Structure 1
Amino acid sequence: MKSLLVKSATILFPGSSLYGRVADVLVENGKITSIGTGIILPEGAGEADGSGKYLAPGFFDLHANFGEPGLETKEDLETGAAAAAAGGFTGVSLMPNTRPPVQSRSEVAYLVNRSRELLVDVFPLGAISQERAGKDLAELYDMHQSGAIAFSDGNKPVADSGLMSRAMLYVKAFNGLVFSYAEDPSLAGAGKMNEGTTSTYLGMKGIPSLAEEIMVARDIYLAEYNDTKVHFTTISTAHSVELIRKAKEQGLQVSCDVAAHHLALTEEALTGFDSNFKVKPPLRTHEDVAALRAGLMDGTIDAIVSQHTPHEIEYKNIEFEIASYGILGLQTVLPLAVCAGLSPELIAEKLSVNPRNIVGLPVPALAEGDAANFVLFDTDTHWELNEGTNRSKSSNSPFMGQQLTGKVHLVANNGQYFTF
């Protein structure tokens, strides 16, 4: 790694004596060697202007989908990591929605070993059940030993309450964590969007809020019964926020995240039948968006995730009813957080600090001798997501061609750095 000097950036590293102050940071051979003001640029070093920008621990995404292994035409590790880096992420946890699913030590080890040379740290999530079928537990302990940081069936809910309870209890033995994707399939049915006035107007089958909320309530009860942790990923309704708020007030070991697009988009975006807005959980109402934003502000919602879900064009450029769910998300998380009204300090908390705390990973520090792991960003630069700036292999984003506010300028990790 060529030496790098970041000049005059506002420091947002928690615990740093310089928090909220402007400083220079010099990185040499991948390590921070000097922090202060007026640092002279070494000969041959790169320089990044941090004026009006914020230097925080590299963002960490708790919910991303790459295609590898088996679905590399959607996204492979290299292109996914490139998109993550451009979005400010130096770490991502990958859902097991691959072919085969990440359900044993071999798949976990493959991802860990294949990603060693990347700037972005890749952390697999192991499947809760074999084949993500919701019937039998997968090899949870073996996957934990091989590097899986938590467990999830990805975009498939664990409908069997007994299986979910056993999974929570099993991982408790090694302080593991289960992710809950809260959806009752019998209530969601074949719905394509949020159930409500807009779905009625468009003549489409809806997914009621209840389909999510009843599973949030169930898994809160299971976590209480088993005295275990549970993490709810991509919650989307106002009542889900309230249920989790009350669980936290009771002292239960509950955490949750929200997908960035649920902070900015509502069901009304679907009136044009653009399949790039088709996601699951579905886009909800203005009231739900307001509740999600409020939940971030008061600490009920711990983290923001990308729910990055790349698809080939043939899965999206078709009739809305049969199009696949999901949008690209890694490069638009920061602008959507800015759109939701989050301050730079809160952005660093929800994207850098809390996600790592949830899965028990250390938060990068800013001190001389530490490895450089940071992101330099601002909240006012305008830029466009287009064919030239998109780093993903796929292009299924509703924000393609739009002006976005809030930009990542630099990421550094693993002895590497990229500027944007």
Structure 2
Amino acid sequence: MNILLKSAKIVNGATKEIHLKKRDILIKNGIIEKISTSIDAPPKTKIIENKNLHVSLGWIDTGVSFGEPGYEERETIENGLRTSARSGFTDVILNPNSLPLPDSSSDIVFLKNAGKGEVTNLHPLGNLTVGGKGETLAELYDMRNAGAVGFYDFKQAVANANLLKIALQYAQNFNGMILSFPLDHQIAGKGIVNEGVTSTKLGLKGIPSMAEELQVSRDLFILEYTGGKLHIPTVSTADSVKLIAAAKKKGLNVTCSVAIHNIFKTDEVLEDFETNFKVLPPLRTSKDAKELIKGVKNGIIDFVTSDHTPLNIELKKVEFDHAEYGTIGLESSFGALNQLFSTEETIDMLTRGRKTFGIEVPEMKEGVKANLTFFDPTVEYTFTEAHITSSSKNSLFLNHMLKGKVLGTIANDQVYLND
């Protein structure tokens, strides 16, 4: 397949000579053949033009959930990957959030095979412990050999400190990545939203910031003792950012992410008891959101993630106390980030992460495989269900103004074009 991007503004800070320059880009059989100020289209070439066409390296989301196997009504892998491609992502890291949980090499092989043949590449995480029960380490080495890029009991902290110690020590033998969710469940108790003025006013049980910060502090202390690679997914408090900044200053090999909705909204929106705003970690205060944004800008927070968690309607259309945690976020990721940050900052955030998880990093140059996302960063619109291609519609971003439209993606010698 031949594809020609015409007069596309390149957003790629890593390649200074073409950064923010308008160029034609010719792709033949999945390879970038030529980047030039003007290229004549060869025969049988698909030409992609737009009055405000921008292009960057393909985007990556470091934490998404689908449903398959076990919860296909929430999201199949096929539809999840096509939603990812439509949303601009050429790589996604899949959370272990299915039934059965992926805690063996055969489970990882199943997930890898289910994701073949799509524009978007699927990179599964394996469970850290057998059955996600937090008791016995799963087959980490075998899962790594089968294609797992890290090990994580989804939304579960490693409660057993010794188990985390052993996992970090063991995984160093094969450069494995250990993930630990930042929440002390004993401190959190039966809390369901951020503990503060809003929770008190609404009569909802709160999760104190301390529940996150104690867990982060303990995990960092263990990491300092053991060495190894630790990733802390979806931090949500100002003091968590400070703790991680101090750990990085010490030279510890720690990375972290923030969910886009935790920097886009605060707990003030809970006053209508809208269950789509029930997420974990919970929406925090404006002070927390400001520090999280600052952490993303200065690199203390390594990645942003949609934390895409599709849930069928009966898990959300219930009383707030009984609703499940989670929001979808793939389709709204670019528009939400581009509303908060400059386009250059947004693209930088959306292209970080591959190297940390051992995934091949694409390049914007002639002779390499095309892994690209193209978009118009100026389009403003109200996000509605019409913009959602996920099987589940539980979006925190519904009816919010977003900025920026994804036009398509190119990867694996395929192109996905949006309407």
TM-score if structure 1 supplies the norm length? 0.96
Is the Cα contact below 8 Å between 1:57 and 1:363 reproduced in 2? Answer: no
2:64 matched to which residue of 1?
64
Q: How does 1:15-414 map to 2 (within 5 A)?
A: 15-16=14-15, 17-49=17-49, 51-340=51-340, 342-352=341-351, 354-414=352-412
Q: Secondary structure at the match of 1:388?
A: helix
- Between 78-87 and 378-387, report the one with greater CA deviation: 378-387
Asked if the contact 1:97/1:155 (under 8 Å) is kept, the reply is no
Separation (CA, whole Å) in 1 of partners of 2:141 and 2:12: 33
The amino acid that maps onto 1:167 is: A
Q: CA–CA distance in 1 between the matches of 2:29 and 2:385? A: 33
Looking at structure 2, the residues matched to 208 and 47 of structure 1 have their Cα atoms a distance apart, in angstroms, of: 53
* Aligned-pair CA distance for 1:182: 0.6
Query: Per-residue displacement from partner, 1:345-385 (whole Å, max 9, x unpaired)?
Result: 22222211x21122122211122221111101233212343
User: 2: CA distance between counterparts of 1:379 and 1:270?
Assistant: 30
What's the secondary structure of 1:142's corresponding residue? helix
Does residue 13 (structure 1) correspond to residue 12 (structure 2)? The answer is yes
Name the amino acid aligned to 1:117. Answer: G
Residue 72 of structure 1 deviates from its aligned partner by 0.7
Report the counterpart of residue 418 of structure 1 in structure 2.
416
- CA offsets, 1:136-175, max 9 Å, x none? 1011001000000111101122111111111111111100
Structure-1 separation of matches of 2:168 and 2:394: 34
The Cα of 1:55 is off from its aligned counterpart by 1.5
Determine the C-alpha separation between the residues in 2 that align with 1:13 and 1:283: 32
Residue 11 of structure 2 aligns with an amino acid whose one-letter code is: L
Q: CA deviation at 1:14?
A: 4.7
Give 3-state SS (helix, strand or coil) of 2:102's partner.
coil
Matched residues in 1 for 2:44 and 2:90: separation? 25
Q: Which runs of 5+ in 2 are unaligned?
A: none
SS, match of residue 48 in structure 2: strand
Q: Please state whether the residue corresponding to 2:81 is helix, strand or coil.
A: helix
Q: Secondary structure at the match of 1:345?
A: helix
- State the Cα deviation string for residues 76-135 of structure 1 (Å, max 9, x = none): 111111221122101111111110001000110001111111111001100001111111
Instruction: Quote the offset at 1:29 in angstroms.
Output: 1.7
What whole-Å deviation, never above 9, does each CA across 1:225-274 have from its counterpart, x for those lacking one? 11112111100000001111111111111111110101110001111000
Q: 1: distance between equivalents of 2:376 and 2:222?
A: 41
Deviation at 1:65, TM superposition (A): 0.4
Which one-letter code corresponds to 2:325 in the other structure?
Y
Measured after TM superposition, the shift of residue 413 of structure 1 is 0.7
Cα distance in 2 for partners of 1:29, 1:317 equals: 47
Q: Is the contact made by 2:32 and 2:365 (CA closer than 8 Å) also made in structure 1?
A: yes
The one-letter amino acid paired with 1:333 is: S
The one-letter code matched in structure 2 to 1:188 is: A
- Tell me, what secondary structure is at the counterpart of 2:174? coil
Q: Aligned-pair RMSD on alpha carbons? A: 1.3
Gaps of 5+ in 1: none
Letter in 2 for 1:356: R
What is the CA–CA distance in structure 1 between the aligned matches of 2:14 and 2:182, rounded to whole Å? 34
- State whether residues 334 and 407 of structure 1, in contact with CA within 8 Å, keep that contact through their aligned partners in structure 2: yes
Q: Structure 2 CA distance, aligned partners of 1:44 and 1:383?
A: 34
- The Cα shift of 1:403 comes to 3.6
1-structure distance, mates of 2:215, 2:243? 11
User: Are the counterparts in 1 of residues 261 and 396 from structure 2 also a CA contact under 8 Å?
Assistant: no
| Contact in 1 for aligned 2:24/2:35 (Cα 8 Å) | yes
Q: Judge conservation of contact 2:156–2:180 (CA < 8 Å) in 1.
A: no
Question: How far apart, in 1, do the equivalents of 2:263 and 2:157 lie?
Answer: 22
By how many angstroms is 1:50 displaced? Answer: 5.3
SS of 1:358's partner is coil
The residue identity in structure 2 corresponding to 1:369 is G
Give, in whole Å, the separation in 1 of the partners of 2:251 and 2:228: 12
Offset at 1:51?
Answer: 4.8
Q: Percent identity?
A: 40
- Residue identity opposite 1:368 in structure 2: E
- SS of 1:126's partner is coil
Contact 1:13–1:365, Cα closer than 8 Å, also in 2: no
Contact 2:84–2:331 (Cα < 8 Å) also in 1: yes
Q: Provide the rounded CA distance (Å) in 2 between the counterparts of 1:302 and 1:378.
A: 25
